[in-house]
Amino acid sequence: MRSFFHTIGTVFQPIFHLFGWILAFFYGVIPNYAVAIILLTIVIMGALTPFTVKSTKSMMAMQKLQPEIKKLQQKYKGPENRQILNEELMRLYREEGANPIGGCLPVLLQAPFLFILYSVIKGLANVSAAGLAQPRYIPTSSKMYHNLVASHGQIKVFGMDLNLKPFSSHGSIAAAIPFFVLVALAVGLQYFQMAQMNNRNRKTGQAMPSQQLMMQRFLPIIFAYFYMVIPAAVVLYMIVSTGIRIITQDVMFRTGVSNPHKAGERSLPAAEKAIETPAPPEAKPSTMKSNPHPRSKSKRKRKA
């Protein structure tokens, strides 16, 4: 197992040095570790925002299709119809441009960046056996390198060492409180970001999948444990990235980019449109008497 992680680390070495160089560059402009991490997060999220937009659209499309999915599930019940059901569902997804795992795309894309940033932060706080700071992944001529050596590898921001975790040795309970506040803020933003999507669907009358409601309840708990065991610098990255996703979704909702009603109107099947379109009123039979035949006029004249 150790050789496996060593191989992965070797493959990612150029990426670690790239992220370290970007961090050192931002720190050289504004000598604050938190600001450098925030600016790096903005750069990363700028690259991931197109995927976030695509994922949000896919989630909205999936929720719009919930009634049709339930109809197919009712129609093709039983294990003997499982293959047909899967084929029909895939056909429905293709026609509507939906992706069942589209909502998980931001989380999946975040994973490599979390690993990279975690490794870079640990490299910045690297200390030799003799107790000397030996920062890795950043240029030795950078201002960040010299300041880390002077602080003995401590990534100090407002009295907090961002390399530490909530349950690290802080010296006092008061010193540990800011770390728990960061974790609570990260979890709260994670919950709000998921609730933002669900509340939007309720307002627009969209059916809420039970899986998504379950994710909203339990996923923040899983992330809370995750935030407890990673350095505070990585938690700061998650806070900023989640805030950017919240802003992105809000802009999409306000501009109507992911309006499910508009999408529903465009993709309404022709048969349903035909049902909803009222038929033109039938022509009523004329109540006026038809003109008498010309011969009847001549007969009346002769009688007269």
d(CA 9, CA 14) in angstroms, rounded, equals 10
Complete DSSP assignment for 215-228: HHHHHHHHHHHHHH
CB 154 within 8 A of CB 161: yes
The closest of 135, 116, 138 to 126, measured between CA atoms, is 135
The closest of 164, 132, 159, 160 to 148, measured between CA atoms, is 132
Domain locations along the chain: 2-255
- E-strand ranges in the chain read 156-157, 160-161
d(CA 126, CA 43) in angstroms, rounded, equals 25
**For every one of its 304 residues, what pLDDT tens digit does the chain have, with 9 covering 90 and above?**
556 556 666 778 899 999 999 999 999 999 999 999 999 999 998 888 887 777 777 777 777 777 788 888 888 887 888 888 888 888 888 777 676 666 566 667 778 888 899 999 999 999 888 888 999 999 999 999 999 999 998 999 988 999 999 998 888 889 999 999 999 999 999 888 878 777 766 665 555 555 666 666 777 788 889 999 999 999 999 999 999 988 988 888 788 665 544 444 444 443 344 334 444 455 444 444 444 454 445 545 455 4
Look at residue 203 in the predicted model and tell me its pLDDT. Answer: 63
d(CA 214, CA 202) in angstroms, rounded, equals 16
| Cα dihedral across residues 105, 106, 109, 112: positive or negative | negative
Look at residue 208 in the predicted model and tell me its pLDDT. Answer: 55
d(CA 34, CA 237) in angstroms, rounded, equals 9
- Phi first, then psi: what are they for 98, rounded to 5°? -100, 155
Look at residue 254 in the predicted model and tell me its pLDDT. Answer: 81
Centre a 10 Å sphere on the Cβ of residue 197 and count the other Cβ atoms it contains.
19
